[in-house]
């Protein structure tokens, strides 16, 4: 009785639709691309180049942390000598890094 009803006001003609409505979402995708997608693609490219350049005699580290020397290669498989007279066959994708020559002698 003493309190009047409150009604919502309509906008004064400002329609924030169109491009301005999609701008935050578009900005979020651009930031996502530069922070996550682009560095991941760069890392994949570097890994692919490292595996393509792999040769017999290279010293490597596997995903499991095993150090070894490549003794033979065939398509997607690599034979790695992990100790004197001990060789294992593994996939190329299991190789994490190629070490500089002579790294295994120091270890």
Q: Where does residue 48 fall: left (phi above 0), alpha (psi -120 to 50 degrees), or beta otherwise?
A: alpha
Is-above-0.75 flag for pTM?
no
Distance, CA of 25 to CA of 20 (rounded, Å): 10
Q: So what's the pLDDT on residue 19?
A: 75
Q: Which residues of the chain have pLDDT under 70?
A: 1, 10-17, 106-107
Note the pLDDT tens digit of each residue in 56-87.
999 999 999 999 999 999 989 999 999 999 99
The position carrying tokens 């010293």 is 59
Torsion of CA 19, 24, 30, 36, to 10 degrees: -160
């Amino acid at each position: 009785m003493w309190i009047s009803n409150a009604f919502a006001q309509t906008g004064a003609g400002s329609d924030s639709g169109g491009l301005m409505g999609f701008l935050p979402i578009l900005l979020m995708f651009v930031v996502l691309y530069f922070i996550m997608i682009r560095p991941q693609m760069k890392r994949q490219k570097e890994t692919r180049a490292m595996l393509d350049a792999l040769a017999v005699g290279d010293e490597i580290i596997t995903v499991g942390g095993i150090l070894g020397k490549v003794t033979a290669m065939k398509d997607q498989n690599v034979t790695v000598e992990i100790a004197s007279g001990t060789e294992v066959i593994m996939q190329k994708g299991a190789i994490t890094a190629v070490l500089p020559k002579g790294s295994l002698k120091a270890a």
